[in-house]
Amino acid sequence: MAGLEGAFLCLGNPLLDVSAVVDEAFLDKYEIKLANQILAEEKHLPMYAELAEMPNVEYIPGGAGQNTTRVCQWMLQVQHACSYMGCIGDDEFGRKMIEVANKEGVHVRYQVDPTTPTGTCATCIVSSERSLVANLAAANNFKVDHLMLPENLELLHKARVVYCTGFFITVSPASIDTVARHCAEHDKIYAMNLSAPFIVQVPPFKKVLMDAMPYIDFLFGNEIEAAALAASEGWDGLPLEQVALKLSRMPKANGCRPRVVVFTQGCDPTLVAVNGRVQRHPVMVIAKEHLVDTNGAGDAFVGGFMSQLVCGKDIAECVRAGNYAANTIIQRSGCTFPPKPEFVWN
């Protein structure tokens, strides 16, 4: 495990998850769909105070990219193997995230906006399913100028794998373009996640994704996001295997490696499309009574996957680690994990 410091870099939207078990009436009150991810509108803002008053509320450092980074760091168990950038406020929530990151060994380089509070994400849990409503606040204010600071460029230059969430598209397209081009020019791996249906359903956001596509070596998504992307491309009714293949065959800026498209499907096999073929990787099945919370399962899968990718392992090992990490997280509340993984390295 030597030489892994700084191997993984993620840019994303750091949010403090405000997590609570709610009922269907709560979802209806705020016009939220189960198992969906949206950005907060004016009508959603009172929800955060209401969640905070609930007896079962929990506060967990989150945001999809930060979850992935924390899980990758946990899997690797090497101080500062993983680095993370995003924007927080100069407040208690922001300081809490710094404290947790330092404790877990993640190298954070937050941009701090003293005028805007740290972003929050309402995590509404109904029967182990969750709906996420993100109030980006300070997370929305990340600027490419922060990335270009010499000490932060040093992290980019050191990284073997760079990852951006689809959610980050709404914040800093210029940063995405900068890191994507850097990876292509220096033969590094650049990865992105579809993250949510709205990313491909809102034309300006989808344009950023498609502009980045030539630079993407690994594209992640779940079956709902994949179907939304297929619909936006006019591929309605096309099986997910074919959607994955079509995306894997789109033109690439760096021709030295093929694009790998990875679609998770909950308890159904994970689809991996590369080199004109689709592989199906079974997931680790658990008894329903052991399922606590699916929040962060997809983020954890990518974190586990990345822990092997930065070590040069093959796709099967990356998926195995991703499944292990996701399986661990769904048996706990929020994106949390035990002190050390029990994953057996090959």
| Helical spans, DSSP H, in the chain | 24-29, 46-52, 64-76, 92-104, 144-147, 150-158, 173-185, 197-201, 203-212, 223-232, 240-248, 297-309, 315-329
Q: What is the spatial distance between Cα 28 and Cα 31, in angstroms, rounded to a whole number?
A: 5
Taking the CA atoms of 85, 180, 154 and 74 in sequence, report the sign of the dihedral they define: positive
Of 80, 79, 71, nearest to 302 by C-alpha is 71
Taking the CA atoms of 208, 214, 220 and 226 in sequence, report the sign of the dihedral they define: positive
Residues 6+ apart with CB under 8 A from 78: 1, 4, 5, 105
Is residue 299 annotated as part of the catalytic site, yes or no?
Answer: yes
Q: What is the spatial distance between Cα 164 and Cα 336, in angstroms, rounded to a whole number?
A: 21
Q: What is the spatial distance between Cα 191 and Cα 274, in angstroms, rounded to a whole number?
A: 14
Which phi-psi region, left, alpha or beta, contains residue 283 (left: φ > 0; alpha: ψ -120 to 50)?
beta
Cβ burial 96-120 (10 Å sphere, 16+ → b, else e)? bbbebbeebbbbbbbbbbeebbbbb
Of 57, 73, 75, nearest to 16 by C-alpha is 57
- Give the residue numbers marked as catalytic: 299
